[in-house]
Amino acid sequence: MDEKVFKDTPIIPGVMRASDIPGVPPMISKMRQMYEYGGGDPLLQAKNFYRQGKFMENFEDNATVSVHFQHYFPTYHDMNVSQLRTYFTWRTDVRKGVFKPTSLSYLYLYIYELINGIGVNSPQESLSKIDQIRDAYSGESYDARRVVNYLNHWACDLCIVNNLPKETLQKYSTDNNDNHRALSLLHNPDNATDDEILAAFELLSAKKITKSPVFTKQGENGKKYFVGVWRYLTKELFNNIFGEPVTRSWQPFANAIYYAAAKTDDAIYELYPTLIYLFRRGEWYQKFYYFAYPQKRMLVNYIGAVDYKLRQYFRTGSKVKEMEAYQPFFEGIDKAIRYCEFQSRPQVSVNLSSLDQIRTDSAETRESLLTEDDVMDMDISTPINVETVCTPSLPNEIAPVQSIENQILIALLQNSSVSEIIKTHHLMPSVLADKINEMYFDEFADNVVDCDGLTITLIDDYVEDLKNLLLS
């Protein structure tokens, strides 16, 4: 009988029939046989993981020996039988609320199951178990902090791909999402408070804006002007500073094993107006505003320009150096400050419904002051025109050309002195300037004159328009 010679043959993991290994649970044997070989295709790797995971999602084990396991991007196929039994025994305990120390690769494998919906009934249940993992295995070590960081990112992605409420996602908000939230507040400042806008500026610029004397000396008024300038200039400046939104391919669950098993319908997930996720024809995309060094530098220059101008406006006595990079913002900031100034003035409203009562009261007062001779001398056919005496001028009406205000404007447009007009009518220059600006605000949406308390001067931007109105 001839002797057979057996040569050493390398054993490839997964090729050996698991059913031939003594003591292997039948489920593990069948799971190992399900693996489909196809080279190093990541999509096939993820598909294998998902198929095997769903097959084993309710399996429990009670191995008495714990075997160490270490592998990047671990899957079931990367483990031998002893390691598989160690993992499923540990997972059995975890699902009962018992969190024992284990190899880091086992922990990541379990997290991969959760984000793939293996062993859970809903995305919300996956998030709940992710929270349990964070509580049980967080710590100060590098590995622990890294696990928590991944958990936060993957929890956010879980909310996006499953269209969960934005409030749920924000619970796991990352630094990157905080930046996008700040951008959204600057994009739509009317939907935010002054404090929220200020905090957004500080987060994105990394500058402590409130240390400026505009805030330390002017308090709430300084804040109101600083934020007011941005509200006024948002449409003009937002895209100039942050650019246009860009769209790029987005891969959920980066650095994890993930298989999009059932996602087919197109979807839109708007986390913020400035950050939108799109699912189109089986691919995910992210539409967002890119924020990097150039955008940050531009934002810092804008903040410096506003600070420079407001220090001048409030006369804080703390000057800063004027930078060339500030100058492109100055014209818009000057207009915005004038608008803020107008908005800060007390607004006078007239209740027209009380006009009849005003007329009646005025007539009664006049009658009570007349003597008998006055009454006899009155031409009773001519009624008293109470309206000319008592009716206040409606706000924002442009007065006729012969008004004092227009006389002042015409004189200024003709480079003539207005001091005599002001003196003759016993007027205060500052009050007169306010009245002129109110009269023409509907026309220009801005101040047309300025006053330093003694002298009224025209604002250059509106000289030609005023000449067309008053001198043509």
Contacts of 257 (CB under 8 A, 6+ apart): 45, 46, 49, 73, 75, 112, 116
Classify residue 431 by burial, with Cβ atoms within 10 Å: 0-12, 13-18, 19+. exposed
pLDDT of residue 421: 86
pLDDT of residue 366: 55
What is the token pair recorded at 430?
A: 């500052």
Residues 229 and 215: their CA atoms lie apart, in Å, by 14
| Percent share of the chain, pLDDT over 70 | 82
Query: What is the model's pLDDT at position 378?
Result: 44
Most confident range (mean pLDDT) of 254-263, 273-282, 376-385, 422-431 is: 273-282
* 317 conformational bin, left if phi > 0, alpha if psi -120 to 50, beta if neither: left
User: Which residues in 215-232 are b (16+ Cβ under 10 Å) and which e?
Assistant: beebeeebbebbbbbbbb
Does 467 score more than 80 pLDDT? Answer: yes
- Give the residue, 237 or 138, on which the prediction is more confident: 237
**Residue 361: its pLDDT value, please?**
63
Mean pLDDT of the chain: 84
Q: Provide the b/e sequence for 380-418 (b: ≥16 CB within 10 Å).
A: eeeeeebeeeeeeeeeeeeeeeeebbbebbbbbbeeeeb
Token pair, residue 98, equals 């018992």
Dihedral of CA atoms 157, 161, 167, 173 in degrees, nearest 10, equals 10
Nearby residues of 331 by Cβ (< 8 Å), 6 or more positions away: none
Q: Inform me whether the pLDDT recorded for 381 exceeds 70.
A: no
pLDDT digits (tens, 9 = 90+) for 109-127: 999 999 999 999 999 999 9
Q: Which of 198-202, 259-263, 463-467 has the highest mean pLDDT?
A: 198-202
> What is the torsional sign of CA 157, 161, 163, 164?
negative
The pLDDT of residue 367 is 55
Tell me the pLDDT tens digit for each residue of 431-451. Answer: 888 888 888 876 776 788 888
Say what the pLDDT of residue 350 is.
52
pLDDT band for position 383 (cuts 50, 70, 90)? very low
Whether the per-residue pLDDT at 86 is higher than 70: the answer is yes
Q: Given this model, what pLDDT does residue 247 score? A: 96
Q: Percent of the chain beyond pLDDT 90?
A: 61
Give me the residue spans of the domains in the chain.
18-170, 175-245+289-344, 404-470
| Long-range CB contacts (within 8 A, 24+) of 41-44 | 43/259
- Name which of 27-41, 120-134, 310-324, 356-370 the model is least confident about: 356-370
Q: Are 165 and 175 in contact (CB under 8 A)?
A: no
pLDDT tens figures, 28-39: 999 999 999 987
| Alpha carbons 69 and 104: distance in angstroms, whole number | 8
- Predicted local confidence at residue 44, as pLDDT: 93
Average pLDDT of span 237-266: 90
Residue 20 binned pLDDT confidence (cut-offs 50, 70, 90): very low
CA 403, CA 401: separation in Å to the nearest integer? 6
What confidence score (pLDDT) does residue 36 get?
93
Could you tell me where the DSSP H helices lie in 138-174? 142-161, 166-170
* Contacts made by residues 271-276, CB under 8 angstroms, sequence distance 24+: 271/160, 271/166, 271/169, 271/177, 271/180, 272/180, 272/181, 272/183, 272/184, 273/184, 273/187, 273/188, 274/180, 274/183, 274/184, 274/187, 274/245, 275/177, 275/180, 275/183, 275/184
Average pLDDT estimate for 200-207:
95
pLDDT per residue over 283-295, tens digit each? 999 999 988 999 9
Reported confidence tier of residue 92, pLDDT bands at 50, 70, 90: very high
Q: Copy the structure tokens of residue 392.
A: 């206040």
Reading the block at residue 355, the tokens are 């006009």
The pLDDT value recorded for residue 465 is: 82
Place of tokens 């120390």: 101
In this prediction, residues 287-316 reach a mean pLDDT of: 94
How confident is the model at residue 428, as a pLDDT? 83
pLDDT tens profile 173-197: 777 788 999 999 999 999 999 999 9
φ, ψ of residue 18 in degrees (nearest 5): -65, -25
